[in-house]
Amino acid sequence: MLKVDGTTVELDNEGYLIRPDEWNRDVAAQLAAHEKLTLTEDHWGVLEFMRGYYEEHQIAADARFVIKHLAEAMGYGGEARRRLFELFPYGYVQQACKIAGMKRPRAWSTG
Q: What is the DSSP string of 2-18?
A: EEETTEEE-B-TTS-BS
Q: Which residues have C-beta within 8 Å of that of residue 49, sequence separation ≥ 6?
A: 61, 66, 69, 73
pLDDT 10s digits, 51-75: 999 999 988 899 999 999 999 999 9
pLDDT at 109 (0 to 100): 45
Whether residue 23 is predicted with pLDDT greater than 80 in this model: the reply is: yes
pLDDT 10s digits, 81-105: 999 999 999 989 889 999 999 987 7
CB of 81 within 8 A of CB of 9? no
- 16-36 average pLDDT score: 94
How confident is the prediction for the chain on average, in pLDDT?
A: 91
Q: In the chain, what are the domain boundaries? A: 2-99
* CA 74 – CA 66 distance, rounded (Å): 10
Which pLDDT band holds residue 30 (cuts at 50, 70, 90)? Answer: very high
Whether residue 17 is predicted with pLDDT greater than 70 in this model: the reply is: yes
Whether residue 16 is predicted with pLDDT greater than 80 in this model: the reply is: yes
pTM: 0.89
Q: Does CATH number 1.10.10.370 belong to domain 2-99? A: yes
Amino acid in the structure at residue 25: R
